[in-house]
Amino acid sequence: MEIKTYLDEQRQRVEKHLADLMLEPVGAFSRHIESMRYSLFVGGKRIRPILCLAAATAVDDDEKTYQRAMPVACSLECIHTYSLIHDDLPAMDDDDLRRGKPTNHTVFGEAAAILAGDGLLTFAFDLLSSQVSAGINDSVRIRIIQTIARAAGSLGMVGGQSLDMLFAGEQVGYEELRSIHRSKTGALITASVLSGALVARADEAQEEALQAYGDHIGLAFQIVDDLLDVEATTEQLGKPAGSDIKSDKVTYPSLFGMETSRTMAREAVQEALAALVLFDRKADPLRALANYIVERKK
Amino acid sequence: MEIKTYLDEQRQRVEKHLADLMLEPVGAFSRHIESMRYSLFVGGKRIRPILCLAAATAVDDDEKTYQRAMPVACSLECIHTYSLIHDDLPAMDDDDLRRGKPTNHTVFGEAAAILAGDGLLTFAFDLLSSQVSAGINDSVRIRIIQTIARAAGSLGMVGGQSLDMLFAGEQVGYEELRSIHRSKTGALITASVLSGALVARADEAQEEALQAYGDHIGLAFQIVDDLLDVEATTEQLGKPAGSDIKSDKVTYPSLFGMETSRTMAREAVQEALAALVLFDRKADPLRALANYIVERKK
């Protein structure tokens, strides 16, 4: 399959639904809702929602299943966006730009940005429990909510960010690096895959396989992010690749070098593909996504 | 009934369950978990969880129903605590003290405080979807999650805080004041009452009555908060009551004066009590709570 066309089409479908489902910037809270919409629609690859939809399709390619997974997919993007807003805050990574655009707090102020994040996180659980998700069986919905809450919470994404802040400026080893990534990025990626599988009523073997797939692509995703961080620097600043690895954050390239890191990413993708062996051609989008993750240029 | 004894006993039961249900500060995330526990256990009246439990009891006074409502009650306290942590941040109200103790960011730093709030908010939805709430029917659980997510979100508590920040320093009228309070404080108080009623399988008439009860005590609660703010000042600073109404925030006393505000609070409580007319003695805790809210001294 042509991955670029597939990703473009999926991204557009996700963005159309996000626009439909998201609160409208009218009434007393319009400024606050505008601030949430700004970050939600400022761009992004929409990888998490697409993984959710592709996992649902891998189990059951009925269009109705895809449609049922859509609000879950959107809730994952809300959670991802909230995490970026809070990560960019002055008290955290203090970033002015994200995807080449001013970060939320730069545009709306710090207080509004904190609240935009809080609002998006809460809205994710609103979506998962509202009429728009009513096509999903209630006990499945509860499992999906649990899967996402765990992955996004203190033993997952939030915990990972807290480790990342805690270890900033410190020389940590591979164990710590792996632990930060697994919780900060990996947990929500795996939850995206799993929640799609749950919508499609995956059996136990399928769930287990998709859990493994999610874990491996989560790792690959992170290694490639680290690699791209170095390579972008090369291009933009004209420094030799690898020389600008941030001194205050341990990365895969800083621990293993560029070549070994690339090999590790490729191996992780191979393991992700191997986990899909029990799936037929319906899992081709997941396979293409795994390859895309390691080959992407941004 | 003796309200002081009742409140003490309920508070202790809630705190015991909070301690049992909350994550332990061990492992990689221990510092982050410590920061959540700090604010969760630094004190507080536990009004929202107690309202949830009392509403459940008003509908069905079986101990099993009370026990089933307990994780829901605890999730409400997690959400309330997260909102206090974020409200106190330097970018928001910039408060160093809360309940006479250093605020979260004063102790753990700003980044950790943002994450403690994020973690507690997410943990609330974890509790509502995890095994600890499995005694509640799944479709009821979905309704409870929806009720709480709506009340806590951008059209409720988060939206109210955004209005509060937006209007800070501006002279707003009664309409705006009412709108801020209804969303910032009232919504979660009403949701606390309603979610308890849902656990106990309230019928439609009971739900409606408890919704009205919640709305009225939410209003009373806020007016009394404003009054106490003035009176505490009188005591602590030795200024005449009413002279220290913060110039940058409109309050009930600043709009209506002390006496009229007191009358408004009493009237709201009377309406709350009237809403309970269809309930028998099982609603006595709710009645006592309504009276307590207007008579409390802190």
Is 80 exceeded by the pLDDT of residue B238? no
Is 50 exceeded by the pLDDT of residue A237? no
pLDDT in tens, A246-274: 446 788 998 999 999 999 999 999 999 99
Of A29, A117, A146, which is closest to B163 when you measure between CB atoms?
A29
Query: In chain A, which among 184-223 make CB contacts under 8 A with chain B?
Result: none
**Which residues of chain B make contact with A146, given a CB cutoff of 8 A?**
126, 129-130
| Residue B81 binned pLDDT confidence (cut-offs 50, 70, 90) | very high
CB spacing of B129 vs A114 below 8 angstroms: no
Q: Is A30 on the interface with B (CB under 8 A)?
A: no
Q: Which of B167-176, B196-205, B222-231 has the lowest mean pLDDT?
A: B167-176
How far is residue A165's CA from residue A158's CA, in Å, rounded to a whole number? 11
pLDDT in tens, A7-20: 999 999 999 999 99
What is the rounded average pLDDT for all residues in chain B? 93
pLDDT in tens, B185-204: 999 999 999 999 999 999 99
Instruction: Taking residues A140-147, report their average pLDDT.
Output: 98
pLDDT at A282: 98
Domain count, chain B: 1
| Residue A152 binned pLDDT confidence (cut-offs 50, 70, 90) | very high
| Residue B231 binned pLDDT confidence (cut-offs 50, 70, 90) | confident
| Residue B244 binned pLDDT confidence (cut-offs 50, 70, 90) | very low
**Which residues of chain B make contact with A161, given a CB cutoff of 8 A?**
115
Structure tokens at B195: 């979610």
CB A49 within 8 A of CB A77: yes
| Residue B158 binned pLDDT confidence (cut-offs 50, 70, 90) | very high
CB B127 within 8 A of CB B71: yes
Asked if ipTM goes beyond 0.90, one says: yes
pLDDT at A170: 83
CB B128 within 8 A of CB A122: no
CB spacing of B122 vs A158 below 8 angstroms: yes
Instruction: Produce one character per residue of B58-87: b if its CB has 16 or more CB atoms within 10 Å, e if not.
Output: bbbeeeebbebbbbbbbbbbbbbbbbbbbb
What does pTM read for this prediction? 0.95
Report CA torsion sign: B226, B99, B50, B112.
Answer: positive
More confident residue, A27 or B245: A27
Report CA torsion sign: B252, B258, B263, B265.
Answer: positive
Residue to test with chain A: of B125, B137, B144, B179, most A Cβ within 10 A: B125
Q: Which of A216-220, B234-238, B242-246 has the lowest mean pLDDT?
A: B242-246
Instruction: Taking residues A177-190, report their average pLDDT.
Output: 95
**Highest mean pLDDT range out of A206-215, A220-229, B234-243?**
A206-215
| Alpha-carbon distance A163 to nearest alpha carbon in chain B (angstroms) | 7
Is 90 exceeded by the pLDDT of residue B237? no
CB spacing of B149 vs A126 below 8 angstroms: yes
Phi first, then psi, for residue A29 (nearest 5°) are -95, 20
Give Cα A13 to chain centroid, integer Å.
Answer: 17
CB spacing of B92 vs A86 below 8 angstroms: no
pLDDT at B194: 98
In CATH, what number is assigned to the domain containing residue B246? Answer: 1.10.600.10
Q: Is B291 on the interface with A (CB under 8 A)?
A: no
CB burial class (10 A; 0-12, 13-18, 19+) of residue B212?
middle
Is 50 exceeded by the pLDDT of residue A288? yes
pLDDT at A233: 63
More confident residue, B173 or A79: A79
Instruction: Taking residues B69-76, report their average pLDDT.
Output: 98
pLDDT at A99: 84
Domain encompassing residue B198: 3-295
